Chains A and B, each alone.
Chain A
Amino acid sequence: MCNEEPVLAVKDLKTYFYCKDRVVKAVNGVSIDVHKGRITAIIGGSGSGKSVMSLSILNLIDKPGRIVDGQVLLHGRDIRKLSDKELRRIRGRQIAMIFQEPTCALNPVVKVKKHMYEAVHIHDKSARMNDLMDGFRKTLLRVGLSEPDRVLESYPFELSGGMCQRVMVAMGLVTNAEVLIADEPTSSLDLTTQAAILEELVRLKETGMAVILITHDLGVVAQTADDMYVIKDGIIVERGTVREVFANPKNEYTKFLMEPILIHN
């Protein structure tokens, strides 16, 4: 793994859900390091706690869930100690997030340009839509949307799933975030769109962004990520660079994930 100082470090994070008759320990002592210019993949099955972990980073956990313990260090500063107001300045501006279902995460009755404007305006009240439009067009071109003018004037339901996902990525970019958390950005998309979005994430990483990629697909990890963490039942069971782990998986669960699905051949 990388020796540099991590941009974002999660230390011994614990997020529990207090249900009626039991406590669900969704994330139970997870530590990860995220470096500049690298893609860090978190891989695990459904219910392994990978999404809860990413939501915990930005303190987006709702009742009955609660972050019980741990630190989230952004450039060495524990953002869990910040007030809501201070944290809001970090969300979107320094740490951006792409959610799993782009079509659900965007408001269907709000045009794309308004979505992008909102992402900027929330941090800079003096921003004016007209001054920003040029920047929006460039950002949309950057994420591979070839007709930025049409997209800006569209509502999310007029765009395909892949295009909405790119809009989400673009919204993360307009604020020049340092860390991008992508929660299953391609799970609901088909292969060709998935390939295009992943190429985009690799390009972003090359510009120096730190990317956290949450997925359950080993192919995605192998082809795009630099570092990887395997999570199971809220605990990291294996960590290392992608090459190390694939060459020499130590944990049983990692080995199981790596067995190919061979049935009839």
Chain B
Amino acid sequence: MNIVEVKSLYKSYTKSKPTKYAVHNVSLGIEYGEILGLVGESGCGKSTLGALMLKLIEPTKGEIWFDGKNITNLSFRNMRKIRSQMQIVFQGSSNAFNPYHTVRQIISEPMDNYTKFSPSEKERNIIASLESVGLGAEHIERYSGELSGGQRQRIGIARALILEPKFVVCDEAVSSVDYALKKQILKILYNLKQEKGFTYLFISHDMAAVNAVCDRVAVMYLGNLVEILPSVNAPALHPYTKALMAATLEPDPEIKKEKLVLFNESGDFSYPHGGCPFQSRCLQANEKCRTEDQPLREISDGHFVACHLI
């Protein structure tokens, strides 16, 4: 059973006849209570897909389903009614908040919008949510500028989770934080999922973080879904996923990798007009890859790959 599902979704940021898509024919479902990792390099459309799932932006084509309902064409007002069940932790924690708001104002805003709690109930909820992310009542009067990067990131999580949403998009929630903090934030996210059964879309380019918390992993390249791994330990089959895995650095000097770069570094990387999106950088691309499209195919149970060579 899927909490969120997108069907043949397209998104283009050009107004007239679209030639380039940030999200290109993506079909993907997220099951209740799972953490789905979404990985890919910068500019591949990860954040766009996350925002589309919450309908923060309108799709060009395709359908979005949430909790068994088609929400693609819901009006702004009808959308508001279900917004409290879906939340997002934004990428740049430094500019995700109004600098003139205190932590209390930041975290209570979702409650002001969606609940009829009394001020004392709100206060209690705010403190409880701060504690759940490892902060406390002493932070409640601070402005976001007075907090460290990691504390701000956690305020973002507290705000996203205060209404106990069913579905949370974590957009690069642990990039640009240091190791100790990354561990702490991942633990918080994972424990909250265990306790409250949240479902996450975990967008990241950090494979270590993805491996630590995710149940399944979807890999994107140039707006296309190229592979869905049924578990973090499943062997990667698509050449792009392999390149991505090869670029992951093992924190052990004894395991020196022969080659870190497994793709063409030079040439034309613009969006190909037909065939596989990875063709210009793939080391194994042949004539078929340049002409024929290859949609996702199920290779084994739950393992989908879009590649002619497999």
| A residues at B contact (CB < 8 Å) | 45-47, 144, 146-147, 160-161, 187-196, 198-199, 216-223, 242-243, 246, 256-258, 260-265
Contacts and interface: CB of A to CB of B under 8 A. Distances in A.
Interface in B248-303: 248-257, 260-261, 263, 265-267
Interface residues of B, number: 47
A97 to B, nearest CB: 21
Contacts of B249: 194-195, 198, 217, 219-220, 222-223
Q: Which 4 A-B pairs have the closest CB atoms?
A: A219-B249, A146-B266, A195-B260, A195-B247
8 contacts: A46-B148, A46-B149, A160-B42, A190-B205, A195-B260, A222-B252, A223-B260, A256-B180
A219 B246 contact: no
A45 B149 CA distance: 12
A263 B212 contact: yes
Given A46-B149, A261-B182, A264-B190, 9 more contacts: A45-B180, A46-B150, A46-B178, A144-B265, A194-B247, A222-B251, A242-B253, A261-B209, A265-B212
B179 interface: yes
A47 to B, nearest CB: 8
Given A219-B251, A223-B250, A45 B179 contact: yes
Given A46-B178, A219-B249, A192 B261 contact: yes
A108 B149 CA distance: 26
A263 B149 contact: no
Contacts of A216: 178-179
Contact of B41 (A147, A193, A217, A264): A193
Contact of A196 (B181, B186, B215, B261): B261
A81 to B, nearest CB: 35
Contact of A258 (B176, B182, B251): B251
B26 interface: no
Contact of A191 (B41, B187, B254, B266): B41
Contacts of B232: 265
Given A45-B179, A146-B265, A199 B212 contact: no
B177 interface: yes
A161 B208 CA distance: 22
A243 to B, nearest CB: 5
B205 A223 contact: no
Contacts of A187: 176
Contacts of A194: 247, 249
A199 B249 CA distance: 12
A196 to B, nearest CB: 5
Contacts of A188: 176
A190 B250 contact: no
A19 B189 CA distance: 36
A187 B206 CA distance: 11
A134 to B, nearest CB: 20
Nearest to B257: A223
B3 interface: no
Contact of A192 (B256, B263, B267): B263
B7 interface: no
Interface in B205-263: 205, 207-209, 211-213, 215, 232-233, 243-244, 246-257, 260-261, 263
B124 interface: no
Contact of A261 (B176, B212, B257): B212
Nearest to A219: B249
A250 to B, nearest CB: 16
A76 to B, nearest CB: 30
| Most chain B CB neighbours (cut-off 10 Å) among A47, A188, A189, A261 | A261
A161 B253 contact: no
B61 interface: no
Given A242-B253, A261-B208, A192 B248 contact: no
B39 to A, nearest CB: 9
Contact of B179 (A147, A190, A192, A257): A257
A192 B180 contact: no
A166 to B, nearest CB: 10
A264 B213 contact: yes
Contacts of A219: 208, 248-251
A183 B212 CA distance: 27
B197 to A, nearest CB: 15
